[in-house]
Structure 1
């Protein structure tokens, strides 16, 4: 059980670092809003986070 918790924590931290490196602070904010909205069962907060992440992913490359 401890190994599973450790692996999931490593995965979450790695994913957060990847999002911040690729999309900056706005990506981290979107991920945070999405996670908080899902955890608190607030669809408006999770939708705002999902929209922010979608806009960051869909932006045109310069």
Structure 2
């Protein structure tokens, strides 16, 4: 069980680093808002985070 938690944590950290590398600090802010919104079941925070990520993806594409 602890091994799975370590692997999941490593994947999350890697994903955060990839977002920060590609989209900068705004990408991290959006990812944190999305994560907090999902964990806290707060649709406003999750929606704002998702919206920012979508806008960043649309801008770079």
Give the TM-score taking structure 1 as reference length: 0.93
**Unmatched 5+ residue regions in structure 2?**
none
**Unmatched 5+ residue regions in structure 1?**
none
CA root-mean-square deviation: 1.0
Q: How many residues align?
A: 61
* 1:28–1:41 Cα change, 3 Å: same
Indicate the structure (1 or 2) with the bigger Cα radius of gyration: 1
Give the TM-score taking structure 2 as reference length: 0.95
Moved over 2 A (4+): none
